Chain A
Amino acid sequence: MANTYNLSHESLKGLFGSLRRDGRRILAPVDAAGRVELGEVEAPSQVAADYLQTILSAKEVAFPKVERLLSYTIAPGRVDLKDAEPRALPTVLFGVRPCEAKAFGALDAVFNWDYRDKFFNARMEQLAVIGLSCTKADEACFCTSVGGGPADATGSDILLTPIEGGYLAEVCTEKGAAIRALAPDLFRPGNGVDKAAIAAKVQQAFDQPALTSQLPGMFENEVWADQALRCIGCGACAFVCPTCVCFDIQEEADPKKGERLRCWDSCGFHQFTLHASGHNPREVQGARWRQRVYHKFSYYPERYDMLGCVGCGKCTRACPVDMNLKEHLIEAAGVKA
């Protein structure tokens, strides 16, 4: 159960100071020449004043685009292998949206599925999330269709909701309580504000449970190839997505030394499933687009009992050909088998 407090703007400034004195870096949305991206800040005044979402997701904090897994040197008669250690800094992620905060759960499902990934876990252990409720949304957003909401606290250690003079602060987890304990006086007793009245209104766009249950029966439906006709098979949607977790293992080596790297990959790429034989089980973009939808809305629920999409809409905003995911899901949900 969350404990609810009031945190004034002045107190937030104080809290940033306490976090910094505690040795944590603070990452928050900052305005970078008109684009809002995560960056390191010291005070709330450096946080972007007005933003819907960052273009990239916060996943990079725990799952960077390139991760060195190991390195080695080769000498006559011997190979020396060295495991890489994760560089995990105590970090507070401030001001991420509820959808993104929730998305860490979908990453966790994969990185702690049949194997516990030490890199991801080391970073997550050092990470605390101070989420910020949305007071506006755009056409790409569909959090409420996938079990989330503009003021949903899932995934946030502390969730802030803007109110007159500051924020309503819900302390949701032990990590959140530990942050409050750094400066307990800054957190004033809460006054029972109605969050829902402040939060953005996001209409439910489609019936997700119904979609998930009908997907297995519509694998061969032509809707996927139809939808994918304009998809150009790049990696933009997957790379900005807070839940997309696919990676590729690459070796960078010369005869004397080498490194093994884990790099972001995307199921939208032709090469993603290309076999060494030359056969490709997902030969056409329609099959690759279908995989994207199925992984998030059919295989994730089946395997991890959760969705692989939080409805943030980042993929839609980043797509060079405006493949609007919400629209496509509405269409798929409307297909009568």
Chain B
Amino acid sequence: MEAVIQRAKELLEQGEVKAVLGYAKGTGSARRPHFARQAGQLDKLVMDEACVQNLAVYVTKHEVKKLGKVAVVALPVTQRAILQLMAERQLRDGSLAILAVDDGAVKELDSASALEEHLALKAQVLNAKDKASLADLEAMDQGQRWAYWQKELSRCMKCYACRNTCPMCYCDHCTMDCNRPQWVPVASHGIGNLEYHMVRTMHLAGRCVECGDCGRACPVGIPVHLLTIGAEETVHELFGQRAGHKAKLDYALSTFKTDDKESFIR
């Protein structure tokens, strides 16, 4: 993992990038996102097992774009999110130096096609814990599942940490923030919480790269990633697509095909 820090240093020192986005040691045993803009800030970069956050959440931010070209230390989840962002035309080829870190080796990528090729080499596997949780949910009948989510979501306080930490939630003006008209109740009461999470799930179905960051972000521990990952898995099952795998946008929920097998749409 030393290699990625070494390469990041070179890029910054040679002026090829204006900043390096990676991980640093945080409070306690935590790791945190870290921006190094000067050589002196590079020493803080770490890369180990505890680095899990999807750093792609930063690359669409105005404040970050203003820095100039950024080198991103990219785990597979970050790579997938960046590829999906490129497919959705939120990022251009060459706008980032993507330092792909898989199994210790570092590979430098800078375009959607390079990412696509790189990601195709490796199957996307859902971690065992989430897989088991999804299976548990699947095993419930509809009434149980409804009760489960109602109970969990009643604890939501609408802090939007789950939305804001998600690399695929990049809209400047989120539906949740619209008040003319107000699509979803703003208040964090039963219906307000439920509608928010239903909208978030639908907006991520087929776009979620399954990083799990939304669930990790929730201060009160609601496993909201199971909603979006569950929807993503369903899209995969029904349409054979996975977010963050293709350079060309192929998005089930907004694609119309005249030979669609569903008749209601014609």
| A35 contact set on B, CB distance < 8 A | 220-221
Among B28, B158, B187, the residue within 8 A (CB) of A235 is B158
In the assembled complex, the CB of A286 is this many whole angstroms from the nearest CB of chain B, namely 7
Decide: A139 near B35, CB < 8 A? Known: A261-B187, A286-B63: no
Complex CA gap A215/B161 in Å reads 28
Complex CA gap A33/B151 in Å reads 13
Complex CA gap A65/B155 in Å reads 11
Whether B189 and A66, one on each chain, are in contact in the complex, defined by CB atoms closer than 8 angstroms, is yes
A12 is an interface residue with CB less than 8 A from chain B: no
| B225 contact set on A, CB distance < 8 A | none
Whether B219 and A236, one on each chain, are in contact in the complex, defined by CB atoms closer than 8 angstroms, is yes
| A316 contact set on B, CB distance < 8 A | 27
Complex CA gap A183/B28 in Å reads 43
Whether B26 and A324, one on each chain, are in contact in the complex, defined by CB atoms closer than 8 angstroms, is yes
- Find the residue from A65, A236, A269, A317 having the highest chain B CB count within 10 A: A236
Whether B217 and A236, one on each chain, are in contact in the complex, defined by CB atoms closer than 8 angstroms, is yes
Whether A322 and B188, one on each chain, are in contact in the complex, defined by CB atoms closer than 8 angstroms, is no
Q: B185: nearest residue on chain A (CB-CB)?
A: A252
| A317 contact set on B, CB distance < 8 A | 27, 219
In the assembled complex, the CB of A285 is this many whole angstroms from the nearest CB of chain B, namely 6
Among A66, A234, A270, A324, the residue within 8 A (CB) of B27 is A324
Whether B186 and A235, one on each chain, are in contact in the complex, defined by CB atoms closer than 8 angstroms, is no
How many A-B pairs have beta carbons closer than 8 Å: the answer is 106
Complex CA gap A245/B165 in Å reads 24
A83 is an interface residue with CB less than 8 A from chain B: no
A330 is an interface residue with CB less than 8 A from chain B: no
Whether B63 and A284, one on each chain, are in contact in the complex, defined by CB atoms closer than 8 angstroms, is yes
- Find the residue from A35, A66, A284 having the highest chain B CB count within 10 A: A66
Complex CA gap A278/B209 in Å reads 33
A225 is an interface residue with CB less than 8 A from chain B: yes
Complex CA gap A99/B151 in Å reads 30
Complex CA gap A151/B60 in Å reads 45
| B26 contact set on A, CB distance < 8 A | 322, 324
Decide: A229 near B63, CB < 8 A? Known: A55-B220, A320-B165: yes
Decide: A240 near B219, CB < 8 A? Known: A320-B165, A321-B33: yes
Complex CA gap A37/B219 in Å reads 12
Whether A236 and B63, one on each chain, are in contact in the complex, defined by CB atoms closer than 8 angstroms, is no
| B159 contact set on A, CB distance < 8 A | 234-236, 238-239, 266
| B220 contact set on A, CB distance < 8 A | 35, 37, 55-56
Residues 158-197 of B, flagged 1 when their CB comes within 8 A of A and 0 if not, give 1111011100000000000100000001111100100000
Residues 32-66 of B, flagged 1 when their CB comes within 8 A of A and 0 if not, give 11110000000000000000010001100111100
| A318 contact set on B, CB distance < 8 A | 161, 219
B157 is an interface residue with CB less than 8 A from chain A: yes
Complex CA gap A196/B132 in Å reads 48
Among B58, B165, B186, the residue within 8 A (CB) of A250 is B186
Q: A269: nearest residue on chain B (CB-CB)?
A: B160
| A55 contact set on B, CB distance < 8 A | 219-221
B216 is an interface residue with CB less than 8 A from chain A: yes
A105 is an interface residue with CB less than 8 A from chain B: no
Whether A320 and B62, one on each chain, are in contact in the complex, defined by CB atoms closer than 8 angstroms, is no
In the assembled complex, the CB of B7 is this many whole angstroms from the nearest CB of chain A, namely 21
Q: B165: nearest residue on chain A (CB-CB)?
A: A320
In the assembled complex, the CB of A167 is this many whole angstroms from the nearest CB of chain B, namely 29
| A327 contact set on B, CB distance < 8 A | 27
In the assembled complex, the CB of B36 is this many whole angstroms from the nearest CB of chain A, namely 11
Among B31, B57, B63, the residue within 8 A (CB) of A285 is B63
Residues 284-323 of A, flagged 1 when their CB comes within 8 A of B and 0 if not, give 1110000000000000000000000000000011101110
Whether B32 and A322, one on each chain, are in contact in the complex, defined by CB atoms closer than 8 angstroms, is yes
Chain A to chain B contacts (Cβ below 8 Å), 9 pairs: A35-B221, A56-B219, A65-B158, A139-B28, A225-B63, A232-B57, A233-B164, A252-B185, A285-B61
Contacts A317-B27, A320-B165, A320-B219 known; 5 new A-B pairs at CB < 8 A: A232-B57, A250-B186, A284-B63, A285-B61, A321-B53
* A residues apposed to B, CB below 8 Å: 33-35, 37, 55-56, 65-66, 138-140, 225, 228-230, 232-236, 238-240, 248, 250, 252, 261, 263-264, 266, 269-271, 284-286, 316-318, 320-322, 324, 327
* B residues apposed to A, CB below 8 Å: 26-28, 30-35, 53, 57-58, 61-64, 157-161, 163-165, 177, 185-189, 192, 213, 216-217, 219-221
**Closest A-B pairs by Cβ, 6 of them:** A320-B217, A322-B32, A235-B159, A318-B219, A322-B26, A234-B164
